[in-house]
Chain A
């Protein structure tokens, strides 16, 4: 976690409960994975999904995206991802609730907003 802190470049944006922070480099230990949605709602079936040219990495408590070319962060139903094919194209998909967000070329860390759990005394990820 301290590694992320050292790499923050000052850029931050959010789409609903997913927060995004610009990084100056890919953190050490980030493991490359196949593209997938960034977050999904347990109730509505909607996802926050980055669509375009990027490489995805897994980190504790989040993901890192190395965006090669301007991409789009969509909040859309899973079915609109066309079995994952739409993740490769920088397209605006039919929005569920949140408007689409353009993600410029760069490296970003994404993790959900957190909430304080008064029963446990620490923060947990926001659920929707």
Chain B
């Protein structure tokens, strides 16, 4: 057992100094993963060493460790290793290597495992893969392992709550990033591993990359804008420069349309957006809305003590922060902030034979009101009638049909 005395950690323990240390550890955990350094420094040997350490900790014998560079390779290797179609090409060589490893436990088998990975990956598969591949969840062998191990570092060295297995936890923390494991599939003879992505891009809202893949497995991955997943077909076409204005205009989801426009705006500015649309800015206005009221929690030490008596065992600061019950209003201060919204009206310079205005007259131009989402910052271009000359009138026209034009365009809250 550890010599340190276990105790409950509360919010009060998170001093500014400790929070600063936690931030540093979080940076260590993810910075090199996100910027590509971890991917480029990765070595097969590091993953093997880390997995062998975990196997030893759990009293498990060594396995043949085969590593895929990305989820597509993983799907293929999974199929080759575990379907009946590749007995001679994959399963027999895997069993042979496993038997050799068992007979020669002191040998280094990394090169043999590398060669087998390449052999498995090199098998020609004639059918199109559409696998629901399996993974095992493990606290020490997944994308979350570094977070789990990081918090053990915080417990041990910031709160003096070392674990009885602290030496192992320290070794795992020191090596988990070099192992760079995303997922694993474990069998008696073989562990199939898929590596972490090459790069991960994000902003304060979540995954985000207006220049390409947000989760990049070296050319394959997922697109995200402001934390929202974007469809592969449309976004790969866009980043290859093949998405036309007509393609964009036919997208039915406003979120996806906004995703494309956000990419253009963030990389080419407003001029780039207008060029893509073949449009000009007709009108622009800053609308001052009603002041937004938010709440700030203002608990004294005496309030905390009183509430803790009333609600034993509860985190009363969190409870008051997130409660909307009026009983807690006395502990909150209203914070009033000004909210000004910039509205822009765009219209194409040319007309289109298919396009109508609201009088159903064909051969009209196309027009949009530009709204910026106050929560996500995404740029929404909402189609409007091209007959408007004022951005405010066009924005009012985008309200529900029951709301008359004379009703003021002013929000008491906008999220």
On chain B, the residues within 8 Å of A19 by CB distance are: 399-400, 403
Alpha-carbon distance between A69 and B327 when the two chains are bound, in angstroms: 12
Chain B residues bordering chain A, tally (CB within 8 A): 49
A121 near B399: Cβ-Cβ < 8 Å: no
Total count of chain A residues near the partner, CB < 8 A:
52
Q: Fill in one digit per residue for A52-89: 1 if any B CB lies within 8 Å of its CB, else 0.
A: 10000000011000000111100100000000000000
When distances are taken between beta carbons in the complex, the residues of chain B under 8 Å from A28 are none
List A contacts of B358 (CB < 8 A): 116, 121-122
B151: min CB distance to chain A, Å: 20
Residues of A within 8 A of B357 (CB): 121
Q: Is the CB of B415 within 8 A of A16?
A: yes
Q: Which of A98, A112, A126 contacts B375 (CB 8 A)?
A: A98
Q: Is the CB of A14 within 8 A of B414?
A: yes
Do A118 and B325 have beta carbons less than 8 Å apart? Answer: no
B254: chain A residues within 8 A (beta carbon): 17, 115, 126-128
Q: How far is the CA of A26 from the CA of B408 in the complex (A)?
A: 21
Q: Is the CB of A117 within 8 A of B383?
A: yes
Output the least CB separation between A44 and chain B (Å).
7
Give Cα distance in the complex from A16 to B357, angstroms.
26
Q: Are B415 and A101 in contact (CB-based, < 8 A)?
A: yes
Given contacts A13-B414, A118-B364, contact A41 B255 (CB under 8 A): yes
Q: Mark B233-264, 1 if CB is under 8 A from A, else 0.
A: 00000000000000000001111100000000
Q: Decide if A113 touches B375 in the complex (CB within 8 Å).
A: no
Instruction: Chain A residues near B400: list those with CB within 8 A.
Output: 19, 21, 61-62, 109, 111-114
Residues of A within 8 A of B359 (CB): 121
- Quick check: A102 and B356 within 8 Å, CB to CB? no
- List chain B residues, Cβ under 8 A from A115: 254, 382-384, 398
- In the bound complex, CA of A100 to CA of B375 (Å): 10
Q: Which residue in A16, A92, A126 is a CB contact (below 8 Å) of B322?
A: A92
B412 engages A12 (CB within 8 Å): yes
A102, B360: Cα distance in complex, Å: 40
Q: Give the Cβ gap from B344 to chain A, nearest Cβ, in Å.
A: 16
Look across to chain A and name the residue whose beta carbon is closest to the beta carbon of B226: A97
Decide yes or no whether B202 CB sits under 8 A from chain A.
no
Q: Is the CB of A52 within 8 A of B324?
A: yes
Q: Is A40's beta carbon under 8 Å from chain B?
A: no
Q: Would you give the shortest CB distance from B177 to chain A, in whole angstroms?
A: 28
B325 in contact with A90 (CB, 8 Å): yes
Shortest Cβ gap from A13 to chain B (Å): 4
Answer yes or no: B366 CB below 8 A from chain A CBs: yes
CB distance from B292 to the nearest CB of A (A): 10
Q: Does B397 contact A (CB under 8 A)?
A: yes
Contacts A16-B373, A99-B375, A126-B382; A114 near B399 (Cβ below 8 A): yes
Tell whether, in the assembled complex, residue B412 and residue A90 are in contact, meaning their CB atoms are under 8 Å apart: no
- Complex interface: chain A residues within 8 A of B402 (CB): 1, 4-5, 21, 61-62, 109, 111
Contact yes or no, A113 B399, CB < 8 A: yes
In the complex, what residue of chain B is closest to A2 when comparing beta carbons?
B402
Q: Is the CB of B255 within 8 A of A128?
A: yes
Contact B413 A101 (CB under 8 A): yes
B355: Cβ under 8 A from any A Cβ: yes
Asked whether B376 is an interface residue with its Cβ less than 8 Å from the other chain, the reply is yes
Whether A116 lies near B253 (C-beta < 8 A) is no
CB closest chain-A residue, reference B406? A5
Q: Determine whether the beta carbon of B407 is less than 8 Å from that of A8.
A: yes
Partner of A113, one of B326, B356, B398: B398
Q: Which residues of A contact B356 (CB under 8 A)?
A: 118-121
Q: Is there a chain A Cβ closer than 8 Å to B390's Cβ?
A: no
Q: Is the CB of A118 within 8 A of B355?
A: yes
* Chain A residue nearest to B230 in the complex (CB): A43
A10 to B407, CA, bound (A): 8
Query: In the complex the two chains form, is B324's CB within 8 Å of A70's CB?
Result: yes
A98–B385 Cα distance when bound, in Å, is 27
Choose from A15, A91, A114, A128 the contact partner of B398 (Cβ within 8 Å).
Answer: A114
The B-contacting residues of A in range 1-48, CB under 8 angstroms, are 1, 4-5, 8, 10-17, 19, 21, 41-44
Q: How far is the CA of A13 from the CA of B293 in the complex (A)?
A: 12
Cα A42 to Cα B385 in complex, Å, equals: 25
Nearest CB in chain B: distance from A48 CB, A: 10
**A117 CB contacts on chain B under 8 angstroms:** 383
Q: How far is the CA of A84 from the CA of B153 in the complex (A)?
A: 40
**B-chain residues with CB within 8 Å of residue A44 when the two chains form the complex:** 228-229, 255
Contacts of A69 in B (CB 8 A): 326
Interface positions of A (Cβ within 8 A of B): 1, 4-5, 8, 10-17, 19, 21, 41-44, 52, 61-62, 69-72, 75, 90-92, 97-102, 109, 111-123, 126-128
List 10 other contacts, CB 8 Å, given A19-B403, A91-B322: A1-B401, A13-B414, A14-B414, A61-B400, A92-B324, A113-B398, A114-B397, A116-B385, A121-B357, A123-B397
Chosen A-B contacts, 7 in total, with CB atoms closer than 8 Å, are A10-B408, A12-B410, A19-B400, A115-B254, A118-B386, A119-B355, A120-B356
